[in-house]
Amino acid sequence: MLKGKHIVLGITGGIAAYKSASLVRLLVKAGADVQVIMTPNAKEFITPLTLSTLSGKPVISEFFTANTGEWHSHVDLGLWADAMVVAPATASTIAKMANGVADNMLVTTYLSAKAPVFVAPAMDLDMMRHPSTLRNISLLQSYGNHIIEPAEGELASHLVGKGRMEEPENIVKALDTFFEKELSLKGKKILVTAGPTYEKIDPVRFIGNYSSGKMGYAIADCAAARGAEVVLISGPVSIIPTQPSVRVVKVESAKEMLAECERAYPDCNIAIMTAAVADYAPTEVSDKKIKRETTGIDSIALIKNPDIAATLGSKKKDGQILVGFALETDNEINNALEKLGRKNLDMIVLNSLRVAGAGFRTDTNKISICYPDNTRTDYDLKPKTEVAEDILDAVTELCKKD
Ligand code: C5P
């Protein structure tokens, strides 16, 4: 998967920089075109000569070459890269990347890079677990960067703990897996619904629910990152996709969501129904604000909303894959399986409101995926971005069976 890929390898000033030589060697062996950028401190740990010999390219460290005045364009490098890898990434460089402190060639290139970025931290165990490091790492994750977690073991300080840079072989493996996944949904059109629906009562009030849209947006982003053409039909939420290629269609009510889904569905290979659609809508919508003192009401008459997933399920063509979600408080598996059958789904993602950290408004989720043949896979509690990866892995497997 790395054949012909342009990799910018950023090396920072940590003792693990000695492993960068093997990393360059392995990347080049796998067919990648490697451009090394070193921070000034990295040169204290490993020489540019070693790295330029192994990569076959002069190492870049400064903004320009002093004797010729030749400028090294971080913008061009950022555009050239298919991936940028920072290994080892010290606490200091991670902090600079997280906060946009562009005082060297490596961080300026990082800020200009359009390609996916992989960060392999390496530092002493106490630095690694310091709240400032943890916060900066989670900031990088929130920008969509991939963290290659450091391993546990003996450190340069002779202390034992978490902070050893991941072995070069595993960094190469992580890149390889990424590029394999990046292509896994290429050519597929995917429809994702997300967020709540708002069902109008009057011009200032609605019936809605607590859905934040985070799960659906994470799925849309992940699918786009894997090469799919994504249309995201979203109820009212305050987030935006991180992948610029995701086409967002904003709707408010279940009826509007259904209309947009019916428009998009015939052309889609896959539809993933993440939205928390309101089950009912007011029978009548008042065009004026209902006033307690004058027009006040004691109750609101409701009418059942259309079931979008079931409607799409009834129109499903051969080869289309339809995925539903179930948020249950009791009798979870049976309820999920009943929905799977009734809505003609190919898989249903179950999240239980009984699990702390799962469901609405959280950044994490714990899911089980149930299939029509009654098989099931249970997953650990993890960030919604990683849950999205699991769901799309499962969808990709279904595509292969088709
Ligand atoms: O029946 P229930 O609401 O639990 O089903 C959940 C699944 O069905 C989710 O995938 C949700 O997006 C979808 N659904 C829908 N339209 C509705 C209700 C639910 O698409 N009116």
Supply the CATH number for residue 261's domain: 3.40.50.10300
| Preceding amide of 88 cis, omega within 30 | yes
- 64-123 pLDDT per residue, tens: 766 676 777 777 888 899 999 999 999 999 999 999 999 999 999 999 998 899 999 999
Catalytic residue annotation: 209
Contact 262, 207 (CB under 8 A): no
Confidence class for position 327, pLDDT limits 50, 70, 90: confident
Q: State the distance from the centre of ligand 1 to the C-alpha of 148, rounded, in angstroms.
A: 36
How does pLDDT run across 4-19, given as a tens digit for each residue?
A: 999 999 999 999 999 9
Q: Which of ligand 1's atoms lies nearest the C-alpha of 328?
A: 4
Q: Any bridge partners for residue 118, and if so which?
A: 85, 146
From the CA of 278, how far away is ligand 1's center (Å)? 8
Q: Is 178 exposed, middle or buried (0-12, 13-18, 19+ CB in 10 A)?
A: middle
User: Which residues constitute the domain of residue 198?
Assistant: 189-401
Domain boundary pick from 167, 182, 197: 182
Please give the number of the atom of ligand 1 that sits closest to the Cα of 261.
20
Task: Give percent of the chain with pLDDT exceeding 70.
Answer: 98
* Residue whose CA is at the smallest distance from ligand 1 atom 1: 339
Q: Is 326 in the pocket of ligand 1 (CB under 6 A)?
A: yes
> Do 78 and 157 share a domain, yes or no?
yes
341 and 385 housed in the same domain: yes
Binding site membership of 78 for ligand 1 (Cβ less than 6 Å): no
pLDDT at 359 over 70: no
**End-of-domain residue from the set 127, 160, 182:** 182
CB 61 within 8 A of CB 45: no
107 falls within a domain: yes
Q: What is the pLDDT at residue 372?
A: 95
339 lines ligand 1 (CB under 6 A): yes
Give the residue, out of 302, 325, 350, with the most ligand 1 atoms within 8 A of its beta carbon, to mutate for a pocket test.
325
Averaged pLDDT, 372-388: 92
Same domain (yes/no): 204, 175: no
What is the model's pLDDT at position 293?
Answer: 81
Amino acid at 60: I
Domain membership flag for residue 177: yes
43 vs 363, more confident: 43
- Which residue among 197, 215, 277 has the greatest number of ligand 1 atoms within 8 angstroms of its CB, and so is best to mutate? 277
pLDDT-based confidence at residue 2 (cuts at 50, 70, 90): very high
Same domain for 175 and 206?
Answer: no
Residue 36 covered by a domain:
yes
- Segment 208-264, tens digit of pLDDT: 999 999 999 999 999 998 999 999 999 999 999 988 899 999 999 999 999 999 999
Buried b (16+ CB within 10 A) or exposed e, 353-391: eeeeebbbebebbbbbbbbeeeeeeebeebbbbbbbbbb
* Last-in-domain residue among 138, 157, 182: 182
Ligand 1 pocket residue status of 275, Cβ below 6 Å: yes
For ligand 1, mutation pick of 308, 327, 337, 347 (most atoms within 8 Å of CB): 308
Q: What is the mean pLDDT of the chain?
A: 93
Strands 151-154 and 270-273: unpaired
- Name the residue with the closest Cα to ligand 1, atom 5: 326
Angle (CA) 241 257 330, round 5°: 85
Contact status, residue 235 vs residue 402, Cβ threshold 8 Å? no
Ligand 1 contacts CB of residue 324 (under 6 A):
yes
Is it the case that residue 360 has pLDDT exceeding 70? no
For residues 155 and 223, membership in a common domain is answered with no
Distance between Cα 279 and ligand 1 center (Å): 8
HSE on the CB side for 170, CA within 13 Å? Answer: 11
Q: Cα of 204 to ligand 1 centre, how many Å?
A: 25
DSSP labels for 79-141?
HH-SEEEEEEE-HHHHHHHHHT---SHHHHHHHH--S-EEEEE---HHHHTSHHHHHHHHHHH
Residues 139 and 258 in one domain: no
